[in-house]
Structures are given as C-alpha cells and as structure tokens.
Homo-oligomer: A and B are copies of this chain.
Amino acid sequence: MTATRIGWIGTGVMGGPMCGHLLAAGHPVTLFTRTRAKAGALVAQGAVWQTSPREVAAQSDVTFVMVGYPREVEDVILGPDGVLAGARPGTIVVDMSTSEPTLAERIHRRAAARGVRTLDAPVSGGDVGAREATLAIMVGGDAGAVAEVTPLLQRLGKTISHMGQAGAGQHAKLCNQILIASTMIGVVECLVYAVRAGLEAGTVIEVVGRGAAASWALNHLGPRIVRGDFAPGFSIQLLVKDMGIALAEAERRRLTLPGLALANRFYQEAMAQGLADQGTQALYRVVAKMNGLLP
C-alpha cells in the first residue's frame, strides 16, 4: 500500500507542527505557505515546497488547509491558483482553519461539481494541542470522506468528532467560542470584584475553582491574570475574528445572543486599546481599567 500523498497549505503556529506529524508518519508532503521561510524546518525534514496551493493539490490525495482568516481560506481554496483549481477528482480537501460555515458549504458545492470531496475540520486545543497532537477536531462533511481521512486526523488530534454535513464542524467550533466569550467575562468580572473587595484574587480562584463556578478559563487563565501574564495562548484578535463569524451566522439565522454581543463589544474595546496580540485573558485589563483598578 502506498502512503497517502499529503498536501499542506499554511504552516504557522498551528499548521507547522500539524504538518510535521504527518511528515513524521512517513507521508510524502508537498506544501505551500505565504511566507516561504516558515516552511524551512518542514522542507529540511523532507517536505517539498510548491509555488501555489494549486500545485500542491495537483500532487496530493488529501490536501489540508490551515490558515488564519476566512478570506485566506477562500483565496487558497477557491482562488485562481487555489486548491480546487488543481485538485483531481476523487481527492479530498480538509480545511482545518476556523472559518465561516457558509463558506464551508460553498466550498463543498464548488468542489462537488469537480468530483472533489471537502471537509471542514476546525480544531480546539491551541498551539500546545497542535504540537502534542492532542487537538479536538470537529468535522463537517460526508461520512465516507470522514472515514477515509480519520487515520490522518488521528495523527493530529486526540478526539475526532463528526458533527454533521458541510459546515457542521465550523458550527461546533463557533459553539466553543460562544462559550469562551461569556465565560471570560465571568472570570474577568469575578477577579475585578475580588480585587475591589480586598480579597486575594489567587485565593478566590482556588476556592471557587473547585465547585459550580469552575471553568477551564478560570482555572487556567485566572492565575495568569493574577500574576500579570497576558501572553497568548489564544490571541484576542483571533477570538474577535471568531466572534464576528458567530455573530454574523447568528444574525443570518435570526438568533439573538446578547452575551456574545457583549463579549464582542468588550473585546473590540481591547483591540482599540492595542491588546490585539495579547491572550484572551487580557480582557481583564479592559475591565480593570474601566473600573479604575488599572491606569
């Protein structure tokens, strides 16, 4: 049996290590990335650079995409030099970026017309999950294609969940981000209240982090806030992107989500204060400043 030929588009902080896992598993890999220098380590390990997503797809059985924004997804998959322009019938395209469900549906239709199958398969677990291959992968698309790529996805993540048809993976990821948005508001308001009330914020986290108020955000990001560590993790600008997608999808479906809208306003303010590249926990700085706890 010949090893599946892998194409990989986008080798940033997530895509780089993910592509590396497939390379390490013995798959021939061709790749494209906007900034060629970012592919250096993978090329040194045997991956072959191509000049466009189209060239990558033309040489691959399964082409993965892991880029930052929906407009990039659109460009590298649907553009004139994009994946679909090169992909042969029968091959599979897996978009692992967090992107728009409606774009995933559009890509699915365009690909189907060419005999190409597509999956949307965004992930959670962050850069650590990408490096350690412990990502949670939420997949939308046809069951047959999911079954075919599952052995590959198992090289990248710990849990692979088929959520439904095209777009369903993106919808599940948006559910994840909707949760994070309001949970972070709770964490930040709790800590601001604690400080103003004269409590030791670290002690508060220890106490309330064991019971019904516990959350991953409180227990993992709370202590970082307390010691003034606002490095990402997951950056504010990426969460703002995801919240924007979720709000637009909600509006299309006439869904009112006031908690998400509030979180979006808070995080927009964080962007305005120059915190775009900081971790999502830097929302604390906005709310603390608003309440006179920080200059």
B-binding residues in A (CB < 8 A):
101, 124-126, 129, 136, 138, 159, 161, 163-164, 168, 171-172, 174-183, 185-187, 189-194, 196-200, 203-204, 206-208, 210-218, 220, 234, 246, 249-250, 253-260, 262-263, 266, 290-292
What's the minimum C-beta distance from A163 to chain B, rounded to whole angstroms?
A: 6
CB neighbours of A206 from chain B (8 A): 161
Instruction: Please measure, in the bound complex, the distance between the C-alpha atom of A176 and the C-alpha atom of B197, giving whole angstroms.
Output: 13
Closest to A208 in B: B176
Instruction: Please measure, in the bound complex, the distance between the C-alpha atom of A191 and the C-alpha atom of B257, giving whole angstroms.
Output: 11
Instruction: Please measure, in the bound complex, the distance between the C-alpha atom of A136 and the C-alpha atom of B214, giving whole angstroms.
Output: 13
CB neighbours of A215 from chain B (8 A): 179, 183, 214-217
Supposing A190-B179, A216-B213, A255-B291 touch, asked if A168 and B207 sit within 8 A by C-beta, the answer is no
Instruction: Please measure, in the bound complex, the distance between the C-alpha atom of A200 and the C-alpha atom of B180, giving whole angstroms.
Output: 19
Judging by beta carbons under 8 Å apart, are B190 and A175 in contact? yes
Instruction: Please measure, in the bound complex, the distance between the C-alpha atom of A291 and the C-alpha atom of B260, giving whole angstroms.
Output: 14
What's the minimum C-beta distance from A285 to chain B, rounded to whole angstroms?
A: 15
CB neighbours of A249 from chain B (8 A): 193, 197
Judging by beta carbons under 8 Å apart, are B259 and A126 in contact? no
Judging by beta carbons under 8 Å apart, are A163 and B203 in contact? yes
Judging by beta carbons under 8 Å apart, are A193 and B212 in contact? no
Judging by beta carbons under 8 Å apart, are B172 and A179 in contact? no
Judging by beta carbons under 8 Å apart, are B190 and A178 in contact? yes
Judging by beta carbons under 8 Å apart, are B171 and A199 in contact? yes
Judging by beta carbons under 8 Å apart, are B175 and A210 in contact? no
Instruction: Please measure, in the bound complex, the distance between the C-alpha atom of A284 and the C-alpha atom of B114, giving whole angstroms.
Output: 43
Q: Which of B126, B183, B192 contacts A183 (CB 8 A)?
A: B183
Judging by beta carbons under 8 Å apart, are B207 and A216 in contact? no
What's the minimum C-beta distance from A142 to chain B, rounded to whole angstroms?
A: 15
CB neighbours of A191 from chain B (8 A): 175
Supposing A186-B179, A189-B260, A193-B250 touch, asked if A199 and B172 sit within 8 A by C-beta, the answer is yes
CB neighbours of A175 from chain B (8 A): 190-191, 193-194, 197, 199, 204, 208, 213
Instruction: Please measure, in the bound complex, the distance between the C-alpha atom of A259 and the C-alpha atom of B179, giving whole angstroms.
Output: 13
Supposing A172-B199, A181-B186, A190-B175 touch, asked if A212 and B161 sit within 8 A by C-beta, the answer is no
Given contacts A136-B208, A259-B259, 12 further A-B contacts (CB under 8 A): A124-B208, A124-B211, A136-B210, A175-B190, A176-B213, A178-B189, A179-B187, A179-B213, A180-B186, A185-B259, A196-B253, A196-B255
Judging by beta carbons under 8 Å apart, are B136 and A172 in contact? no
Instruction: Please measure, in the bound complex, the distance between the C-alpha atom of A138 and the C-alpha atom of B185, giving whole angstroms.
Output: 23
What's the minimum C-beta distance from A62 to chain B, rounded to whole angstroms?
A: 22
